[in-house]
Structure 1
Amino acid sequence: MNIKSIIKQTEAQIGNIKRGNGTYISQTNIKHFIHLLSTKSSNESFLITPYLLSDNGGIYELYNYEFDVTVKNESSHFVEHNTKNLLPEEVLKFVKPQIIVSKDDTDFCIKAVKQYISAMENMLFSDVKDAYPEFNKSQILYQIFI
């Protein structure tokens, strides 16, 4: 199964939210995505973009919290944030923006995505919630792009 098929299967799960042409993946279903990744024998590049969905239906894209998986012909590693970026402390402390992963290092890829999702579950998003109080009661959703 390729990454496009895995994304389509994840987006088709019950519990996601569809708006316009987009599907926002629930916290439960992003874990299903990770499970499907574990069935692959090689990696493909993709981007996970998180969003906050408020009780009144507003959506806020958490651009600074994105996670990019890039497949290259080099050893697998995390990419750190640029230290000159003025990012919220919890982003700098708990979320890496990217991994470079070799095509066959599926274990590293799955472990990194699991760590990212786990970190996102524990985020407070104070920077957003202080600026936009309507997101004080919100849930986190995801989109996955190739």
Structure 2
Amino acid sequence: MLNEIPQEILAALPYDWSGGRLLFFCSLRVVFIPLFVMCVYPASAPTLSHPAWPCIFSLLMGVTNGYFGSVPMIQAAGKVPPEQRELAGNTMTVSYMSGLMLGSVVAYAAYSFAAPASEPPFSTLSIHANATGY
């Protein structure tokens, strides 16, 4: 909840985004994928090895995700007739939640492909072993 406050404040700034411009800037966020990959690849010496890089990219991705997720939801209600505003709000909510779920599934699938084959992903034994150093 605390993470959403700055994005909601930014999204409340009066600026009328067109659909094409919103789509462009949302699509532009794909640039974060290679940036995050550069933080972990190659495993022996990542291209962006300083720990601040993933923090900065994560912060920027969170702010842009909150902003470009909130602005369409705010503007959608004003673009439809008054009798369809509730339906538009529900549709936007379902679309937003579906996108978050799909992103989580893709991230989990990517992790399972990248994880070593000898250990199951996210097992409590591997988490304990990594935490204790054994």
State the TM-score, normalized to the length of structure 1.
0.30
Choose 1 or 2 for highest CA Rg.
2
More helix by share: 2
Higher RCO (Cα < 8 Å, 6 or more apart) = 1
More strand by share: 1
State the TM-score, normalized to the length of structure 2.
0.32
